[in-house]
Structure 1
Amino acid sequence: MRSASDASTAPVPSTGRYLVGDIAIDTRQRKVLRPDGDVELTQRVFDLLVALVSEPDTLHTREALLERVWGTTCIEDSNLTQSISVIRRALGEDRKGWIRTVSKRGYSFEPPGEVIHLPPERSVPTHSPNPPLAHVTVDAPIDRHALPVAMPAPHAASASIRALRWAAALLLGLSLLVSGSRAQPDATTALAVRPRAAIGIVLVDATSGAADAPSRQAASMLKAWLRWKLELLPEAVLIREDELLAAHALDTWFVEIRAEPRTAHRHSTLQVSLRRLQRDGRDGRDAAPAIVGTLRGRDPVTTVDALSRQAMAGLFPRRRSERWPALALDAATALHFAQGTEALDRRAYATARVMLGKVVESAPGFGPARLALARTLADDGRVRQGAEQAALAQGLLAPLPPGAAYVVAAEIAALTPTRSVASIDAYARLSTANPDRGGFALAQAQALMRANRPEDALRLLGAAQWERQPLALRIRQRTARAEAALALGYHDLARESAAEAIGLVGLHVDGHARELGQAQLVFARTRHQQYRQGTEPALYHRAIRTFEADGNRLGALTAAYFEAAAENDVAEAERRLAALLEVAGQHGDHASQVRALRSMAFVHAESGDHAAARRTRHRALDIAAMAGDIATQQLLQLDMVDDDLEAGDLDAAGRRLAALRQNRLSMKYRLRVARKESALLRLRGRYRDALDHLDARLSGEARNAAWQAAPIEAARIACMRTQTLSAMGDLAMARSQLRGCHDPGSSSIPVVAHLGEAEIALHDGNLLAARRLLDDADRRLSQRRMDGGKIELGTALAMLRLRTGEHARAEALYRILLPAARQQGQALPLAEIEIGLAELAAVRRDWTLAQRYAAQARQRLPQGIWPLDSRLQLIDIARRRAYGDVEGTRAQAATLAQRAEARGDAVVRAQAMALMPSTTRPDIAAGQIARTTTTHAIDWLIAADARMEVSLVAVQTRDPR
């Protein structure tokens, strides 16, 4: 009970709105804005929510929260617990895990993504000589304190274009999520909580061949100008004529543009006909009167602009009063814009780049051309140039309707490499509000991939509604899904998705060479990673030819590099990598640079040149830091942790993990860090600490949230818990953890699960079941190419083969793994194989060979690697036992048993006790062993000595070595 007056304190001084994932927390209305509706909270409960949200990833003690929210008001501590429950219900079932309970201490707000704080809304003029940066912009969380800055008027842009380029690039990170004037709706709220049905639009130029050239050009301009506007409206879906049936569920309008030639009695005219289509693709009865404009004189631009406004008003009556930028171009420049946007629609990037470049040169203040050019450059891999054009476009695109302004802001954020978090949030809102427009979900998935969140991207790309999307969009979706699956190691899905994308491109009429090349490259890389040590050059050559035919030099160089890397031709891979890095650097494509360098680091590691691997990773780390790519920096640091562990440098791994833990990590990376920290504790022999460490990060609701956010990492943690519990002798709990150690698509997790289940069966004395499980693991493992992962799993498999009495199969596997491990040159894998060979020699009573392998392993191992050091000690004890050294056997076995018990390693303790001569074994040993694990775990080593048990009564004075 707490006592005092009724005074209360506000939890935080800030106001405004917090954006978290797909919800918003509005401090003015004191509501939680969810996609499925608003939730109101009482004053105290809402203050508690704001206290948690305003300081995410921070442990708030119960006492601090009570003081902060209730002040000195007299309340029961249970009120806090009840309020937390109310908040979890308000967040929704899928978000309950965002609030983590820290037992007996307090609570921490840990959402899967960034928490973006937006200041209170401000009004901006609907029209001014110098327009604001944008009516609606999307902000990255680190840039929330800047003010909108006016851009120069269009006519002044050409005079200061170089200064604008740098100023606008800076302004990209300084924008706010600002709504329009009070008369305009709040775009963020509308997008977040008001899903609406889309309208399908089919744009057709039906101009006959009899029309003169100026009339045809005017029709082309009108089609391009309408397409540009429709692409920015969230509720509009552009559909090709040959894709009408694929979009039959949409309310669809047929927009026919026709230029009529000049006659003796009238001027040339442009006509726009609007007809509603039935859902089977046939013309409906609902048709509006044709909109007609007369083409007088030599400049049709004014007529084109007026007709576009009338057509938009006919299609979207509720938007009749909304304003768009004017088509402020001369006729020749407007034609270039039409040709450029048409080429971009066909994905003819080279042509689009030339035509749009002419528009920008002639009319530097025309924002639509700059935005289209930015998109073209980015799609062509010219990331830096695309970001510069997007920065310039942002200040020139006004006025815009609120929904269109939000789409522009989302696209500009996506075109800026440092604003991935903002683009993910923006496209998530757009996708939620406009579920029929799959392009928003695809853009969100691509942003997730750029942010190194392939699990989230894959979930988004695997939804069933993609089959209702137009064919062109399904091609891009299949390609993106293949890339996400490959990044996660889901080889079957990656290969299947890439093959589907390749097949769909064959059905499509225009473009998509870029997607075809990407799908061919993913297919080649997947085939190589899944099935063979070498590669199939024809698969890579196909991708190279596709990229070259499309004029995509960066894509061709990337495919050529991965071909050499797959063949483990280090010299050729280095040569091709240099060319790739040069072009990617020129284009500002940091993602391609880092991806290639990270791959090259693995090539160096597999060839045994770990110094070169470390240098390459540091080079990639420098590029990622320069690009501000935090997620990739964290990924590379995690790669370096693996290097440290395999080299046996536990101290370096611990320091790196501690530094990572201080950063703001996504759920996937938090789980990966927790798993590696637990692995580090296991290597140090701290089994109970290792288990507690995992339990602390995956307790209660956090476990469900982890499965949703990062299923592979959650499954790997369940596998690690199984192994740790098995080593601690808690076989019942270990079996229960096997349910979480299942296959979420990874090729390695099923092998780990079979090995864990086989080890449990072995401890139970069920050798037949253990051997069957090992056979299953062997079949799966044989499909993998030889790499570090296969060496690690193969070594564990060989060790269990030996313990089930399958000596010949264990030795054969060790002999296959040994040269590969020597080539890689890492200390721990090689030492583990040598210890396995020493155990085989000990089983055969070849103590000279056993000692030689054991000495080699000891020389490689640093101090304190408990799992390997304890196995070496068991070999020594078995050797003393075989030579009749009763006192030495008893003393060393007792010491090892005590050390194992202190570490919680029940299996090693049982093995050490079982190796003691029966005349010296403590009376309590049998009972304790029976409660934890059986003595079958050591039978493989001492069975041959069973007949010697009676004779082991005298001390052997001769040194058995």
Structure 2
Amino acid sequence: MLYRFADVCLDSASRLICGPDGPVTVPKRVFDCLAYLVEHRDRAVARDELILHVWNRPNVSDTQLAQTVLRARRLLADDGVEQRLIRTVPGFGYHWVGPVQVVETAEDAAAAPEEPVPAVESLALSLPDIASAPADSMPPAAAVLLAAGSLPMARPSRRSERRRIGWSLAAIAAIALLVLLSNFVPVYLPAGASAAATTGKIIVLPVEIEAAAGTDSAWARLGLMDLIAARLRAEGLVVPPSESVLAALAAARENRIDLPLRPQDLRAELLIQPRLSRLASGWQLSLEGRRANGIDLALQQQHAQILDAAVAASDALLASLGRARGSERTAQDETALRVRAGLLGNELDSIREWLQALPPAQRMERNTRYLAAELDYRAGRLAESRSALDALLLDPHVDEDATFRGRVLVARGSIAMRQRDYSGSEKDFAAAIAALDGTTAGRDLGRALMGRGGIALQQLRLEQAGNDLSRARDLLDAAGDDLGVARAEVNLALLQRRGGRPLEALEQLQAAATRFGNYAAINELSATLAGIIDLQCSLLRWDDALASSERAQLLLARLPDKQLRARLLQGRIEVLTGLGRLSEAQQALDSLALVGASGSGEIARGALLAAELALARGEPVRAAQLAQPLLALAQSADTRESAFHAAALLQRARPELAQQDLLPGIAPEAEPRDCVQAIIVRARRLQGQQRNAEAETLLRRGLALTLTSRDLREQRSVAEVLSALLLQQGRSVEAMEALAPLALLVPRDFDTALLFAGLHREMADINAWQFDLHKAAALAGERTLPQHLTAPLIAAGAATPAELAHATP
């Protein structure tokens, strides 16, 4: 059967998908997922049903399913916000809702007519899940507008790509770039053909060494682990990096998983436990394998030398797995293994001493020079490390080995990125990609692509960033590098956020957080949670943000990074303020003061959060005092956006300042591009000068920007000023239209409920006004309702202020 939709033709019989430019390569599970949803488009498909069909087993996480659906959406230029083709059914599964033309094959010789599916109208362009909102939670005015189909449904433009991504998400951008920098990899074996791997994930555990083996063999615990893993990886098996395995073991200990570990404890198909024993004639290395299906294996090899025993055992293991004999080791294997063991065990000083004691000829070997450069890098000696790699790349023998040259370029590009030499970094990553493309070094190529994609993202070359980062994620996934996949997910989330797809960004950040949590990667997990909290706040999902903040609170005591602790506390202050839990917000603010903040941007954010808290408490004078000093930040382009945030807050705290130029000397062309707060500040000033038409034009531009970015927090800010301007002119219907996309936020956001209460009061709509005030009272927490909104209207049936203050929804 052929199915035509969205410029795509899906042939279920031949398992082929064709786009406008011909056949498209699609992963098996993405094809199965897409075909099943299209074939069952007459109904919603439950998550469990879809999992069983695509994976043929029930024990698949929601994250894996969400990632597969995400890839299917990308293939069709659909996303989690618009959901034009694949709609998420909250709490149930997914439903294909796009038009489909069914064409039977030539055997049947009949064509089916197009089968359109009626589109579901949406009240809020930025809130795709509102179709599932209960009827009794819908504001009366919104219900009427929905029934009448009278809301403006213009699609937001994709014109503007440079937009605010939030302080915490900007911090994620920095973390996402920095996590690329651990790009030194073992050099003593060629990389495996990761993309061609045909078995499940294999994890090699640290070697257990008998006490009688002696202290001189201690390096073998991690060194042989790394060697065995590399030899398996070299023959196309999916074997995670040793760093990831050690992190997973640390996470298992934290989660108090009982020993011995099972494959499912580490999300693997096979666990290999090596054991090293000293014999009278040499060494014995035993390998015990535990499979997820319960079929175990055991083998052992004996040799006079440790490395010979390890190589023989690895070859025997490969044979038992149906693979060819492993690659020959080189003369520098023991040197590399000792260094790798020291690096994995973070024994930098002892490894440096050991390297310096090597004979001069061996120190000049290219592998040893590479390892010395890695040691300098790990010790923070970036200039020395880069200089060593520069010299290494001048060695003519390096050009003879494309894989080795690619690895050196990736390492140098990572150092250049950390030194903020983005031009040099991008050149190195591009050269590494050229060297590694076509080799079997899938993991190395994935890291190079992630580096180049991260720089393209930072410079807003979004198409290139998307191509590089998506390909990097697939390569790292095929290589079994879960932490690498998580880092790619963070970068892809930033791409989605910049592209105005916050829900997809949220999905990817949550998937990355799960992976980081699985490996006890505390710094990356904390930074990712900070981004999740910021996104949830931007969507005014206060309860979700609180749950994320509670999770982050559990990490605070274990975080050595003061900057990350500050970011998590800043997110918590915003969440608690948004929920009206002002006493707890003050406690978090006090904790932030104890932690301290570094950098003008972080300090500014802390001061702005303190000012917002003061406003929520009804202390405008205090809020103005906190915001006023931040205006000086306008003198630097790097902090100018924070200055406009402060100016907008100052205008709210002291309305009489609206017509003043709070940021003199900053011409419109010098304002941060597409900064919504800058637009609000300038519009309020124009309004104070009675230039209402110009103010309205500016605010409508700002509203269009927020519809594109789908930032509900900023959309609410612009709509508040625009609706007030329109109401002053008696244009209540237009004011309603400006606020209408936010209507379904009334039951969950205090400030939005107050906005609608003010609107409906001006319109003398008593029922809607009372509904809004009931919701606001329920959401108030420690905040008070403004007296000008609660004063009774002169109309029968209107509630008194006392009744409203104690009302329940």
Query: Which TM-score band applies after superposition, normalised by the shorter structure?
Result: 0.3 to 0.5
TM-score norm. by structure 2 comes to 0.47
TM-score norm. by structure 1 comes to 0.41
Whose Rg is larger? 1
